[in-house]
Amino acid sequence: MSARQDRRDKFASRAVQIGFIVGLLTFWYLGTAYWGISPLLLPNPVKVWHELKDVLGSGEYLPDLQITLTELAVAFSISCTSGVTLGYLISRSQYLIKVFEPLLAGVYSVPIILFLPLYVLFFGLGPGSKIAIGTTISFFPIVLNTIAGFGYVDKIFITAARSMGASDVQMFRYVLLPAALPVILTGLRIGFTVALLSILGSETIASLAGLGHKIVHLAEAMETARMFAYIAFAVVIAAFLNTVVSSLERKARRR
Amino acid sequence: MTAGETAVRVKDVSHEFGEPGDAQFVRALQHTSLDIARGELLCLIGPSGCGKSTLLNMIGGLMTPTTGTVEVGSTVVRGPLPRDIAFVFQENALFPWCSVMENVKLGMVFQGVPKSEQEDRARKSLEAVGLKDFMGHYPAQLSGGMRQRAALARALSLETSILLMDEPFGALDEQTRMILGEDLSVLLSRAGKTIVFVTHSLGEAVFLADRVAVFSARPGTIKEIIHVDEPHPRKPNFVTTEKFSQLRNMLYGLLHDEIRKAVEQSAIVGPQS
Amino acid sequence: MSGLLAVKKVLLRRPALARILVLVAFFLFWEISARWWIDPMFMSPPSRVLASLSSVFETRGVPAALRITFWELTVAFAISVVIGLAIGLAVGLSRFSNRSFMPIILLLYGTPQITILPLFILYFGIGPASKIAFGVSHGIFPIIVTIVAGVQNIKPILMTSARSMGANRWQIFRWVIFPHMIPSFFAGMRLGMTGVLLGVLLAELYVSTAGIGYFTTLFTQNFDPTKLLGLISILAAMAIILNELVRRAEVHFARWRTD
């Protein structure tokens, strides 16, 4: 395809994308304003926008956001430290890897959200159960990636360092860690994303506070417009956090 | 350089992988003995699986022989001797997350060279291999030939008396090998080290070596040792001389049948070299 | 102590055996701690959970809820596959569609769908429809993405060979593109099943007035960890079986792929 054709194609596809989104918004507006869709099901986009401005301006979102972010921070720090530590310890021996990696991968393949009711029974409806489920679910990609990172370092690097007289500490610091880092960071990114999703999910299902709960609360109160505003808000926050974490991962992987 | 003094003594060494009776049991090396003189460049050549890399690893302390011993100077080799022996590997053993300069310095960090000396030594060896303008580059940005030069610089900066090279040019194309071989000859003639060099290439062995040890097929042992009586540094036109051809043909004669045997053996599972 | 040494040697050769031992140790730990250390209000030992599985089934409404959930899972999966395949092919086969629509699809794939779960219930009610819909909305994306990748990743040399032998567009699709895409399709289905499981189970857990969610809420509020663990185990087993079925299908049909 020639360069000119390519540019025309790029322009055309952009046009289709924009057209698609504009079309969607238009149908949304028309549907609620003129075609009689119940505002309880689909609120007017203009009203949603006003509600959003109100929520942001009044700072009403703050307590829920704070709870969600705190739960996320605590859950992620726990799963991070335990996952990396355990992953490193397992990676020290090929035998341990062969024993534990399939077990961990197997447990991860079950939808762990099933254990949420158990955690609620244990910790109640408060932040404890959210942190617990967030930690549990995000633990697995972190530990599995750490095992993969440390356990599959190209043998030639270890041999070369050994031949040059590297001590165990030097081996870890100058060879194992930098070699494993890209894979581990990917695991951390996935763990973060998954922690956020499971915390929002558990707030939706069984909670007294937090962003997920707020959305449910508004749904039950039939305040659909405000609920849409909060959904948009939550999506933006999630997107922002994920972008930050992704770019951190990419920066650290640049080598 | 005191010629005639023995740098490395290989005494009746054998090596086996696995246990007898295992499906993967392999006798890689069998009753091999060798004396390597100080300051000589010895080539180990032989078919795949003949144990030449195994022998090199044993000299360098990366593997222990099943029977027999290797002595370097007066010490029996039981593990790596980073102050006496430096390696250059075939595969890319440069750390991809470090620049060329950092790679060279890291070797010295492992060996225990004081920080004040590292910069100087690194610079000198990088200049010696012709990488003066590439010190800040990363291995991914360099060609295969340049990467092996960097690996050589790292080994040289360790200032060991012995250098072990395991098919260092094996992954490179013919033309790069030729250039690197010529440069290596010049470099090593100045350095005065004892060098053991494993290769598959007949021409490379004759061009670089003082002696060439020819291995038999697995289970490997030294079949014959050929002397190449030509002063260092070897001139590029050495390759075109009658003497070169004769030596090369001699090697071919010794090796051809062993290579055939090795190819037949490779249908049987087992670790290489 | 040569007995111990022999055991150690056997274990070293058979990691599978060691794995089983780890699992046994885990269950033993669970059994002991639940029996003697933890308040029975919060945790139940595996022996009791196993013994009372039948009582879980005898609880009125549970078998029906389980059956409905299983049905929701299979229907959602089937719909995801059909829709995912259709959209995947439509987007993947044309370079223009790919460039136009893939960014939108990827954007949707990346949004936290859990935030709109209440909307799904609002629109589809508390019955199976909303669970199926939420499951489908989780399941289609990995299928679409993998099919598009499978179609786009065909080595041009294969297309060139076919064309040089005179194949028309339909023949190229039938004999080159379609078979090439099958391994990706099955990989996508495996991920799709994971998505469907997540979507349906999330929706079920959310609706606490009917279905599985009703019983999980009931057992939780009554502090009945025995029945709760029983129910969770049954659901987990269901998930494992479904996952395994799709995985086996993938292994069987994708044998020619070397990557």
Q: How confident is the model at residue B93 (pLDDT cuts 50, 70, 90)?
A: confident
**Would residue B118 count as lying in a domain?**
no
pLDDT tens-digit profile of B240-250?
Answer: 999 999 999 99
User: pLDDT: is B24 or A227 the higher one?
Assistant: A227
Chains contacting B (3+ CB pairs below 8 angstroms) = A
Q: Mean pLDDT throughout C141-161?
A: 90
Q: Tell me if chain A has a CB within 8 Å of the CB of C239.
A: yes
Mean pLDDT score of chain C:
91
pLDDT tens-digit profile of B193-249?
Answer: 899 999 989 999 999 999 999 999 888 888 889 999 888 888 889 999 999 999 999
Q: How confident is the model at residue B143 (pLDDT cuts 50, 70, 90)?
A: very high
User: Which pLDDT score, from 0 to 100, does residue A255 have?
Assistant: 54
User: Which pLDDT score, from 0 to 100, does residue C257 have?
Assistant: 58
CATH of the domain at B27: 3.40.50.300
User: Which pLDDT score, from 0 to 100, does residue C255 have?
Assistant: 65
Q: Mean pLDDT throughout C248-252?
A: 88
The answer to whether the CB atoms of C122 and A17 lie below 8 A apart is: no
The answer to whether the CB atoms of C202 and A113 lie below 8 A apart is: yes
Q: Tell me if chain C has a CB within 8 Å of the CB of A116.
A: yes
Q: Tell me the residue type at C166.
A: G
When CB atoms are compared, the residue of B62, B106, B109 closest to A163 is B62
Q: Mean pLDDT throughout C214-229?
A: 94
Q: Mean pLDDT throughout A219-245?
A: 94
Highest mean pLDDT among B26-30, B157-161, C142-146: C142-146
Give C34 to chain A, closest Cα distance, Å.
Answer: 13
Quote the Cα angle for C109-C111-C113, to 5°.
Answer: 95
The answer to whether the CB atoms of A231 and C116 lie below 8 A apart is: yes
Residues present in chain B in total: 273
Mean pLDDT score of chain B:
88
The answer to whether the CB atoms of B107 and A170 lie below 8 A apart is: no
Q: Is the pLDDT of residue C2 over 80?
A: no
The answer to whether the CB atoms of A103 and C19 lie below 8 A apart is: yes
Q: Tell me if chain A has a CB within 8 Å of the CB of B110.
A: yes
Q: Check if the beta carbon of residue B46 is closer than 8 Å to that of residue B255.
A: yes
pLDDT tens-digit profile of B96-142?
Answer: 889 999 999 999 999 888 989 999 999 999 999 999 999 999 999 99
**Would residue B134 count as lying in a domain?**
no
Q: Is the pLDDT of residue A211 over 60?
A: yes
User: Which pLDDT score, from 0 to 100, does residue B3 have?
Assistant: 45
Q: HEC states along chain B? A: CCCCCEEEEEEEEEEEECCCCCCCCEEEEEEEEEEEECCCEEEEECCCCCCHHHHHHHHCCCCCCCEEEEEECCEECCCCCCCCEEEECCCCCCCCCCCHHHHHHHHHHHHCCCHHHHHHHHHHHHHHCCCHHHCCCCHHHCCHHHHHHHHHHHHHHCCCCEEEEECCCCCCCHHHHHHHHHHHHHHHHHHCCEEEEEECCHHHHHHHCCEEEEECCCCECEEEEEECCCCCCCCHHHHHCHHHHHHHHHHHHHHHHHHHHHHHHCCCCCCCC
Task: Give me the number of domains chain B comprises.
Answer: 1
Q: How confident is the model at residue B51 (pLDDT cuts 50, 70, 90)?
A: confident
Sorted by sequence, the CB contacts under 8 Å of residue B36 that are 6+ apart come out as: B6, B7, B8, B9, B10, B42, B194, B196
User: Which pLDDT score, from 0 to 100, does residue C64 have?
Assistant: 95
Q: Is the pLDDT of residue C229 over 90?
A: yes
**Would residue B210 count as lying in a domain?**
yes
Cβ neighbours around B201 below 10 Å, total: 17
Percent of all residues in chain B with a pLDDT value above 90, rounded to a whole number: 48
Percent of all residues in chain C with a pLDDT value above 90, rounded to a whole number: 69
Residues of A in contact with B100 (CB under 8 A): none
Q: Is the pLDDT of residue C173 over 70?
A: yes
Q: Is the pLDDT of residue C3 over 70?
A: yes
Give C103 to chain A, closest Cα distance, Å.
Answer: 8
Q: Tell me if chain C has a CB within 8 Å of the CB of A205.
A: yes
User: Which pLDDT score, from 0 to 100, does residue C259 have?
Assistant: 45
Q: Tell me if chain C has a CB within 8 Å of the CB of A227.
A: yes
Q: Tell me if chain B has a CB within 8 Å of the CB of A159.
A: yes
User: Which pLDDT score, from 0 to 100, does residue B41 have?
Assistant: 93
The answer to whether the CB atoms of A164 and B86 lie below 8 A apart is: yes
**Touching, A vs C (3+ Cβ pairs under 8 A):** yes
User: Which pLDDT score, from 0 to 100, does residue A6 have?
Assistant: 83
What is the side-by-side order of every strand in the sheet holding B26-37? B26-37, B6-17, B67-72, B75-76
Q: Tell me if chain A has a CB within 8 Å of the CB of B91.
A: yes
User: Which pLDDT score, from 0 to 100, does residue B73 have?
Assistant: 85
When CB atoms are compared, the residue of B82, B91, B109 closest to A163 is B82
Q: Tell me the residue type at C71.
A: W
Lowest mean pLDDT among B248-262, C111-125, C220-234: B248-262
Read off φ and ψ for residue B222, nearest 5 degrees.
Answer: -75, 120
Q: Which CATH architecture has domain C53-253?
A: Orthogonal Bundle (1.10)
Q: How confident is the model at residue C256 (pLDDT cuts 50, 70, 90)?
A: low
- B151, B138, B182: which is closest to B88 by C-alpha? B151
Q: Mean pLDDT throughout B245-272?
A: 81
User: Which pLDDT score, from 0 to 100, does residue C1 have?
Assistant: 63
